[in-house]
Structure 1
């Protein structure tokens, strides 16, 4: 999970989520998908948005350095948005791991 701090790690994780989403599903999972979006689709959409914000930030940085972009304020706003999105993704990951560990440590 430490690989989620890089863009490539997030992309690899997103690919893994997609393969899990296309694997065999039970009847209950099929019903939940038919009635609405599943958790994996929400998570995949969130990672897609994060990748888009990161790519926009990278392109804006390149444009600022090369002189194609002259508005530093807008570039800083988009950088802050990307940073906040990444921090949110890391916190969601931490909460998911914490919940997983809590379930794993339950005694029946």
Structure 2
């Protein structure tokens, strides 16, 4: 098959899909460049929050060692929150890499 034939089939499939969605009352969400920038903003903010959590834990650890912080319970709570945030970030990264590898290994 040549690329023109594939493009025609894809266009026909998309128009058929849109007709079915309209018949069922569904709306199709289109991806715009602003959606992509919003995602990158959210991702950057999440990474920034993770980094600030790790900085707080590092400072709390130093404060406990030097004796500036006496409330060990609150330090342990912040440490647990930072640990959970880091584990979540690692799992999100793993899922993103897995999805990327799945897309990379697809055959067309």
TM-score, normalised by the number of residues in structure 1: 0.67
- Higher-Rg structure is 2
**Structural RMSD (CA):** 1.3
Which runs of structure 1 show a deviation greater than 4 angstroms over 4 or more consecutive aligned residues? none
CA shift, 1:86, in A, is 0.5
1:6-47 per-position Cα deviation (integer Å, ceiling 9, x unaligned):
xxxxxxxxxxxxxxxxxxxxxx41x436xxx62111110100
Partner of 1:83: 83
Asked if 1:67 is matched to 2:67, the reply is yes
TM-score, normalised by the number of residues in structure 2: 0.67
Asked if 1:104 is matched to 2:104, the reply is yes
Unaligned runs of 5+ in 1: 1-27
Alignment coverage as a number of residue pairs: 77
Give the alignment of 1:16-95 within 5 angstroms: 28-29=32-33, 31-32=34-35, 38-95=38-95
